[in-house]
Amino acid sequence: MTELTELTAVRLLDGYRKGEFSPVEATRAALRRAEAIQPEVNAFVRLTAEDALRRARESEERWRRGAPVGLLDGVPVTVKDILLLRGAPTLRGSKTVDPGGRWDEDAPSVARLREHGAVFLGKTTTPEFGWKGVTDSPLSGVTRHPYDRTRTAGGSSGGAAAAVALGAGPLALGTDGGGSVRIPAAFCGIFALKPTYGRVPLYPASAFGTLAHVGPMTRDAADAALLMDVIGHPDSRDWSALGPAAAAFTDGLAGGVRGLRVAYSPTLGGQVAVRPAVAAAVRRAVQRLAELGAYVEETDPDLTDPVEAFHTLWFSGAARVTQRLGPEQRELLDPGLREICAQGAGYSALDYLAAVDIRMDLGRRMGRFHDTYDLLLTPTLPITAFEAGAEVPKGSGHRRWTGWTPFTYPFNMTQQPAATVPVGTDGDGLPIGMQLVAARHRDDLVLRAAHTLYEAGVTSGGN
């Protein structure tokens, strides 16, 4: 019998429906796995076992009566420690956040999960305030790769990715301001979607503004579509939230890719040096999409690397989130975060608005690009997971995490939906991800194409 920790959310729900196993059994199995991986991987800042088992018992009784409360009744989920979870402190990876207080409110996505009967296993690790593409912080230490403990799980949603990869809950909520669900998902061999901005409401508003998205991290695209059907609804606390989706994301999965116009950009026009193993794995997946009926053309978007504009927006946000801190509290911050905060505080309003102009032009160019192409395919990252505890790979010459994530942060600037799917491993057995990008509001296309790859057996993760 397949272990419960290896099942997707869709499969768990089918088992509950058929009486093959119960939410209590699934929750206990997920908690055991979480406790087992925690000493070496460090995916969690907090496990909420007592509350999880209470919610699982309530769900089990509802299933016994044949009256589940929602789409995810009894499914174990984790929440990144950037998002509010009622009854648990949200420390955001920082020693500067006071764990005392009421902590009596859910973030919008967490509130929707609660309404649909999900079981909260706990809070997953994040770098301080989610500022970088790896997961380590002065508060919780280093989060390690699920298949090689010497390497990073990526970030900033690294704990969430490691938890899903190792069976500590099939569903996770992450956040993504420059790649933070896609980076760790690619490193850890799972699926993640950064939805169109506003599709999943966010509260409190991020200091990083409209770069910041909430997204699902899951075993496959079908689970992500199901999770999006729960969390992708408006919330009055987010003034920038979109209205309801036109249709359920799960209903659109089965359309296949035949006839889709797909652009494949292996290096963004020669701007990115991609490791050969990564390039080969992504090319094989692209070829498979062509075999499945997509019209694939190797071409590049009109995209000049916007890294300096992104830094202006991102570092300014970091300066804002730490603005209230006094000198003693600033000494508690991650040294790298202190550096970018100082840089961000030096920008003027005109600097910021100039970066916004670049962002708007980039969005216009990508909008025109998608007049011709339904999807853009790229590697998610040009590399596989590197040593844990470092912001950049040793010897890379990069100064900041944006140096090795050139495929991800541009699409936070444009607010487009972008997902990563696992498409193989390198010679060390480390997962490789392929990124799928669509025009704004076409999350359904990204999910459908990703689901087609899973159905065709193209996707593969780690060990």
CB 416, CB 369: distance < 8 Å: no
**Residues 350, 356, 361, 366: what is their CA dihedral angle, to the nearest 10 degrees?**
160
3-state class of 137 per DSSP? Answer: strand
Q: What dihedral angle (degrees, nearest 10) is formed by the CA atoms of 215, 41, 398, 463? A: -80
DSSP 76: E
Question: Residue 421's beta-bridge partner residues?
Answer: 434
Active-site amino acid positions: 80, 156, 180
Adjacent-strand bridge partners of 142: 136
> What is the tally of helices (H) and strands (E) in the chain?
14, 13
Q: Fill in the amino acid letter for 395.
A: G
3-class state of residue 221 by DSSP: helix
How is 279-325 classified by DSSP, letter by letter? HHHHHHHHHHHHHTT-EEEE---S----HHHHHHHHHHHHHHHTTT-
